[in-house]
Amino acid sequence: MILFKSGAELAFHLQKKHASGSRIGFVPTMGALHDGHLSLVRQSRSQCSLTVSSIFINPTQFNDPRDFQKYPVTLEKDIYLLEKAGVGALFLPEVEDLYPGGLQDLEKYDLGRLETLLEGKYRPGHFQGVCQAVRRLLDRVRPDDLFMGQKDYQQCLVVRRLLDLMSSSTVLHTCPILREADGLAMSSRNMRLSESERKKAPLIYQSLVQIKTGWQEGRPAGSVLEQARDLMSSEGLRVDYVEIARAADLAPWHEGDEGMAVALVAASLGEVRLIDNMLL
């Protein structure tokens, strides 16, 4: 695995690989890696001849500066895991490399309603920050395929929109959510949970399962959601939202809507905010 700090050197290396016929898969991350991240690497390796990954804790996507400061960093272990997983090139940019003009007055993307729904509502500016970083990473890597996790459902829709806005030929693959044995979705943030918070965290998954069961039994969405909210609140989880939306665009689900639906949850335990979702 070759490590690159410079975006220009990475781009030069990958242009040569492309020219010699490599199919390049890209797995961007913020580090503190777990098996969910590595599942994206595995999927990329099954489809592409060269897998590139990046570790970059992007300052512009943190609406809460404390969350940015406390974001876990486990760089040496991450490098070891990515090398073992068969990543060919790892990009470790500094903020100055991706944002040479500084962090002020950055470009804005037209994300439509995705910007103000769900995560967008609770984390103003978050998805603009995601786009600013992903755009800069894509400009340097120019992958054929991009692998991202369904765990961040809304982020996948936002990045799909970004690729459209860029008229990019990169293909986005949305990969399944990897979970711990008790159902908790793997997340870098889980390591910040205390022992007692960790015991309560699977309630998010249990609520989603309960919603799915109720939904399949044909119960009204309102009562299914209320029951799920009660389940989480009763154990002290602070629920930002628990909603059922149209899977295609996350518009609120209305009686009589056609197509696939998705249930989405965001809830906090102590200082740690967790998100999860499940297709219904």
Alpha carbons 256 and 258: distance in angstroms, whole number = 6
Structure tokens at 82: 């990515």
Does 40 contact ligand AMP by CB under 6 A?
A: yes
Residue 53 interacts with ligand AMP (CB under 6 A): yes or no: no
Among the residue ranges 144-152, 190-198, 241-249, 262-270, the one whose residues contact ligand AMP (CB under 6 A): 144-152
**Binding of residue 54 to ligand AMP (CB under 6 A):** no
Stretch that binds ligand AMP, among 137-145, 146-154, 236-244, 247-255 (CB under 6 A): 146-154
> Tokens 């876990």 identify what position?
72
Question: Closest CB to ligand AMP among 126 and 140?
Answer: 126
Q: Between the CA of residue 128 and those of 106, 119, 154, 158, 252, what are the distances in Å? A: 9, 12, 13, 9, 22
# residues near ligand AMP by CB under 6 A = 17
Q: Which residue among the candidates 37, 126, 173, 254 is catalytic per the annotation? A: 37
Which strands sit side by side in the sheet containing 238-246, from one edge to the other? 238-246, 261-269, 272-279
The question of whether 37 is a catalytic residue gets the answer: yes
Nearest residue (CB) to ligand AMP, 155 versus 200: 155
Nearer to ligand AMP, 111 or 178 (CB): 178
Kindly write down the DSSP assignment for every residue of 97-164, as one continuous string. HH-TT-SSS------GGGGTSHHHHHSTTHHHHHHHHHHHHHHHH--SEEEEEGGGHHHHHHHHHHHH
Smallest gap from residue 157 Cβ to ligand AMP (A):
12
User: Residue 27 or 245: which CB sits closer to ligand AMP?
Assistant: 27
CA 5 vs CA 52, 56, 175, 257: distances in Å: 13, 11, 27, 48
Which residue number, 185 or 237, has a Cβ lying nearer to ligand AMP? 185
User: Helices 126-141 and 153-165: crossing angle, nearest 10°?
Assistant: 60
DSSP class of residue 38? H
Residue 148 sits in the site that holds ligand AMP (CB under 6 A): yes
Query: Shortest distance, CB of residue 60 to ligand AMP, whole angstroms?
Result: 13
Q: Which of 7, 39, 78, 267 touches ligand AMP by CB under 6 A?
A: 39
Nearest Cα neighbor of 23 from 45, 1, 53, 55 is 45
Q: Which is nearer to ligand AMP, 14 or 33 (CB)?
A: 33
Window 152 to 211, contacts with ligand AMP (CB under 6 A): 152, 175, 177-178, 185-188
Selected from 4, 10, 26, 36, the binder of ligand AMP by CB under 6 A is 36
Quick check: 108 and 128 in contact, CB under 8 A?
A: yes
Residues carrying an active site annotation: 37
For binding to ligand AMP (CB under 6 A), which residues are involved? Answer: 29-30, 36-37, 39-40, 148-149, 151-152, 175, 177-178, 185-188
